[in-house]
């Protein structure tokens, strides 16, 4: 029987978005969703610290959920989001019913963490503390960054993916409707939008109006008051040179591209029905790197897909070294009932899958560390998102490459301010600097 995830989200759109990422990760691990915690095997409270007394809120939510452990001893409770980031291990110490604490930057390792939790460990993943990060707690004062869905569903039918079945075929929203939403957000203080879709590059295909994604993005750049534009997710087969040219020429579009490769081996890509070969993918990434100065690229990977041999996996390892992603999200394959891949024998053992996942993430850690260190000394544009609760001279934001930058500033700043920061230090997954 399919295991089920129940997730309750508090707070801003970023949390909504993180919830989407958590759900995708659980879907990759074979979970279905439920709105009823009594049916769930795993329950997550995705917390927000903007609201008053967040700890109390978490406590009362845990209190509500813990009764399900009596009926199902394998029922797991996780706390994610800002409160998890801020309180970390303390949540485990004070709540014996909680199995997992996942800070905001822990999502990329969620597959590995959930597996350990399923095997009985209680784990807190909070990068600020594990990284000896000295800046304590941040909270967003108000939302200056918003997520705007531009299309739903997917027509690609990757063989392992349930999305086209559960979310239906691709359906784009009318451009006028999206642009009006963005204008409304901007009038209400939003400075940055991230356009969302399972496959943004095929935006417009089924609309009456004659428009593609690049044309839509160009229209969005003309919105007064909108400072930054991002988008996820791009499907490599539809990723075009026209889009690369737009990103490189339009100041408002950030230099960040999430382009999921999934595997480095052509035979695995074919079985996944991804619609491209590694060399075709590499050609597109090289074009983007060449034309878009300072671009950061991220990707998703599945290890242990049916039939994946050691040689195939080595091609994935080679790919991350050759491309040098700034971030990757990697998962072990698990069949989703109803997908084509679930009819193929899941013949890579759990041990081998775990070993491959660890190897890939370890290698990526080295690449990320190298890339972040290479940015020391750079002056980067950062949009302020939060202020330290303990030190009002310490701020947090994101650079154009979508990386968290914490920095000191003697000048008082507010969320949405865009400032130049000199990078002084590279942490495990973030940068540290000072406003200049």
Can you give the binding site for ligand SF4, defined by CB under 6 A? 154, 156-158, 161, 163-164, 198-199, 235
Do 190 and 145 contact (CB within 8 A), yes or no? yes
The CA distances from residue 142 to 51, 55, 146, 191, in Å, are 11, 19, 11, 11
* Tally of residues, the chain: 436
CB of residue 173 to ligand SF4, shortest distance in Å: 17
Six token digits for residue 318: 């080679």
Q: How far apart are CA 36 and CA 312, in angstroms?
A: 40
- Whose Cβ is closer to ligand SF4: residue 161's or residue 421's? 161
145 vs 159, beta carbon nearer ligand SF4? 159
Shortest Å distance, C-beta 331 to ligand SF4 = 12
CB of 272 to ligand SF4, least distance (A): 8
Q: In angstroms, what is the minimal distance from the CB of 160 to ligand SF4?
A: 7
**Nearest of 182, 55, 140 to residue 384 by alpha carbon:** 140
Nearer to ligand SF4 among residue 138 and residue 231 (C-beta)? 231
Angle of helix 310-323 versus helix 278-291 axis, rounded to 10? 10
Q: For the stretch 4-17, what's the b/e string if a residue is b when 16 or more beta carbons lie within 10 angstroms of its beta carbon?
A: bbbbebbbbbbbeb
- Cα 397 from chain centre: 16
Q: Which residues pair with 231 in a beta bridge?
A: 195
State yes or no: cis peptide before 83, omega within 30 of 0.
no
> Whose Cβ is closer to ligand SF4: residue 236's or residue 386's?
236
107 vs 158 by CB, closer to ligand SF4: 158
Q: How far is the CB of 260 from ligand SF4 (least distance, A)?
A: 7
Closest separation between CB of residue 424 and ligand SF4, Å? Answer: 38
Residue 262 sits at φ, ψ, to 5 deg, of 75, -40
User: 262 or 368: whose CB is closer to ligand SF4?
Assistant: 262
Closest CA to 401 of 372, 364, 373: 372
Nearer to ligand SF4, 235 or 401 (CB): 235
Report in angstroms how near the CB of residue 24 gets to ligand SF4 at its nearest.
9
Which value, in Å, is the radius of gyration of the alpha carbons in the chain? 21
The DSSP code sequence of 401-413 is TS-EEEEE-SS--
């Amino acid at each position: 029987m399919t295991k089920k995830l129940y997730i309750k989200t508090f707070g801003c759109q970023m949390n909504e978005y993180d919830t989407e990422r958590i759900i995708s990760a659980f879907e990759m691990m074979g979970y279905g969703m439920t709105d009823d915690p009594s049916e769930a095997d795993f329950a997550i409270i995705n917390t927000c610290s903007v609201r008053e007394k967040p700890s109390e809120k978490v406590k009362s939510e845990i209190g509500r959920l813990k009764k399900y452990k009596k009926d199902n001893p394998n029922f797991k409770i996780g706390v994610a989001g800002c409160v998890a980031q801020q309180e970390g291990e303390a949540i485990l110490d004070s709540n014996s019913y909680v199995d997992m604490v996942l800070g905001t930057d822990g999502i990329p390792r969620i597959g590995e963490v959930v597996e350990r939790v399923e095997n009985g460990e209680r784990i807190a993943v909070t990068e600020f503390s594990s990284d000896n990060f000295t800046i304590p707690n941040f909270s967003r004062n108000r939302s200056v960054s918003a997520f705007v869905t531009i299309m739903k569903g997917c027509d690609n039918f990757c063989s392992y993916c349930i999305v086209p079945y559960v979310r239906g075929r691709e359906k784009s929203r009318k451009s006028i409707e999206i642009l009006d939403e963005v204008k409304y957000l901007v009038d209400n203080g939003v400075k940055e939008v991230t356009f969302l879709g399972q496959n943004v590059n095929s935006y417009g295909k089924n609309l009456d109006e004659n428009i593609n994604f690049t044309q839509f993005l160009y229209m969005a750049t003309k919105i007064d008051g909108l400072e930054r534009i991002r988008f996820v997710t791009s499907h490599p087969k539809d990723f075009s040179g026209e889009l690369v040219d737009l990103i490189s020429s339009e100041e408002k579009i950030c230099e960040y591209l999430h382009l999921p490769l999934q595997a480095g081996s052509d035979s695995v890509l074919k079985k996944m029905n991804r619609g491209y070969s590694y060399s075709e993918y590499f050609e597109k990434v090289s074009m983007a790197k060449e034309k878009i100065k300072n671009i950061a690229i991220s990707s998703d990977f599945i290890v242990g897909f049916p039939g994946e041999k050691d040689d195939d996996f080595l091609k994935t390892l080679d790919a991350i070294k050759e491309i040098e992603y700034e971030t990757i999200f990697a998962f072990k394959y698990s069949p989703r009932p109803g997908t084509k891949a679930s009819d193929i024998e899941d013949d890579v053992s759990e041990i081998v899958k775990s070993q491959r996942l660890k190897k890939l993430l370890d290698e990526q850690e080295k690449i990320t560390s190298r890339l972040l260190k290479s940015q020391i000394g750079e002056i980067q544009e950062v949009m302020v998102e939060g202020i330290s609760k303990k030190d009002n001279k310490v701020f947090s934001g994101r650079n154009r490459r979508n990386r968290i930058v914490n920095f000191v500033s003697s000048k008082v700043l507010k969320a949405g301010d865009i400032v130049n920061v000199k990078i002084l230090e590279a942490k495990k997954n973030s940068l540290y600097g000072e406003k200049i």
